[in-house]
Structure 1
């Protein structure tokens, strides 16, 4: 059974949802890539982990980091 999870985000904000193989560096790697390839970007990234159950969050904008973390917690994958 699939559930539709609404993603709340500030107006005008783009949202990308993806999946990757586990690495504790995934969030840091994505953040570094965004910072170095898109000058002036503001972003928040979050990723759920299965063991231990936690949500990693990175970014340079607190509102976007909070939004990304809340979306991950709502989805609950990991």
Structure 2
């Protein structure tokens, strides 16, 4: 999955390099950035949902251990921070 994402980002950046007109290149870069930011917000919400799902039968410390963060950080993630 990560390789596919890295490839997609590399291809998007290459497509920008192929655009000669700086105004057009800016407009396309803006659309790409908007898409990435939208995806980032969706991923942040997904991570919050996962943290809350893990919490149903565990302490924040246990959730943090499973997620590879501290318990306090796991709780922050659950709140979308």
Pair in the same fold by TM > 0.5: no
TM-score range, shorter chain: under 0.3
TM-score, normalising length: structure 2: 0.24
TM-score, normalising length: structure 1: 0.25
Structure number with greater Rg is 2
Structure with the higher helix share, 1 or 2: 2
Structure with the higher strand share, 1 or 2: 1
* Higher relative contact order structure (alpha carbons within 8 Å, sequence separation ≥ 6): 1
